[in-house]
Amino acid sequence: MADTRFGCLATAIGSMPQTDPAAACDEVVRYLKSAPAWPQLPNRSFRENMTAQFSEGFPGVTVTADKVLVDRDRALDKPLEALYAAYLEGNADAFPTSIEYAAGLHHFLTLTDLAPVAVKGQITGPVTWGLTATEGSGKGVVYDDVLGDAVAKFLRLKAAWQERALQRLFRRTLVFIDEPSLAAFGSASMSLSRQRVIALLNEVCAGLDGLKGVHCCGNTDWSILMATDIDILSFDAYDYARSLSLYPFEVKNFINSGGAIAWGIVPNTEEALAKETVASLRDRLEEAMAPFTRNGIPIRQMVSQGLLTPSCGLAGLSAAAASQVLKLLAELSSRIRRSYL
């Protein structure tokens, strides 16, 4: 693995509540100076919803006011041929993400005077995208024999395009693959096997040269994610710290192999936020790390190979509350780094 010694620097998951990309970027770079993330703005337009945002260019796709649909009755042979040709050639420029779908990204790419350790991007993962983009019967396209294979190849190209764009801003990048739907893994609502999930994620990872992570904001089988080709495991440590502690062997192997954990320790609801301080969040973080330090991973190593994030996206908050999340995150990061590094 590449160097993942971030020392619990603060970064974000992605979404922000603003509709003005400049205002959202201002907040990000104000608080997340060392590892800024471009802001997704779903309140600006449904096109910036996490599925719609990365649908642009998929064969047969239509984005409505509230859905991403793939028309199986349209002539898809030529669009699929073009997708596979771009995939085989590694031609990510054939599948960019335009300003209409990611105003926050495009404004972020214009920023100057940044001096980060890394810049972060994010893309919807193939499981989540493939389950929420549906064809005529209402079934997720990931279950379609032809389109399901195309989903991960398409997102691999979208991720590679984004990474290259970010690398023009700063050479060291992190790209997180967002997979909230993996919280349903093993339930009746998801009939994907462990092997299929790993293969889908690894296909997207293979398009990335820099550091890559997977984020899931619910409970899931964390051993699946740690069996993929990721460098960073990102999870909601505020609400689901115990769920990761059930995988002590896998976490120890992941960390000792150079992997990093992104601890989503600052809550993203206003009710929970009102109860927390930097001191209380530090206690909560150290409690979340404790099962692993008791299992033989030194606390200094856990901190060194860690990032701090909000528990998930911030689009559901007010602008003031989102700012408070980032402020707490930055202060917590500073305090943890002073204590352990």
- 198: in domain: yes
Q: What is the CATH number of the domain that holds 192?
A: 3.20.20.210
- 270: in domain: yes
Does 116 have pLDDT greater than 90?
yes
- 243: in domain: yes
Helix 248-256 to helix 278-293 angle (10° resolution) is 100
For the segment 271-298, what is each residue's pLDDT rounded down to a tens digit? 999 999 999 999 999 999 999 999 999 9
pTM exceeding the 0.95 threshold for the entire prediction: yes
- 3: in domain: no
Does 317 have pLDDT greater than 80?
yes
Amino acid at 329: L
Residue 229 sits in which domain range?
9-340
pLDDT of residue 189: 85
Instruction: Identify the burial level of 67 via C-beta atoms within 10 angstroms of its C-beta, where 0-12 means exposed, 13-18 middle and 19 or more buried.
Output: middle
For the segment 139-148, what is each residue's pLDDT rounded down to a tens digit? 999 999 889 9
Q: What is the mean pLDDT of residues 211-217?
A: 97
- 49: in domain: yes
- 1: in domain: no
Does 73 have pLDDT greater than 90?
no
Does 2 have pLDDT greater than 80?
no
* Closest to 241 measured CA to CA, from 199, 316, 277, 292: 292
- 139: in domain: yes
Q: What is the mean pLDDT of residues 180-208?
A: 95
Query: What one-character DSSP code corresponds to residue 312?
Result: S
pLDDT of residue 1: 63
Average pLDDT, the chain: 96
Task: Look at the chain and report how many structural domains it folds into.
Answer: 1
Does 259 have pLDDT greater than 80?
yes
* 70 and 134 Cβ atoms separated by less than 8 Å: yes
For the segment 91-101, what is each residue's pLDDT rounded down to a tens digit? 999 999 999 99
DSSP 251-294: HHHHHHTT-EEEEEEE-SSHHHHTT--HHHHHHHHHHHHHHHHT
- 2: in domain: no
Q: Please tell me the distance from the alpha carbon of residue 69 to that of residue 63, in angstroms, as a whole number.
A: 6
What whole-number percentage of the chain has pLDDT above 70?
100
Does 188 have pLDDT greater than 90?
no
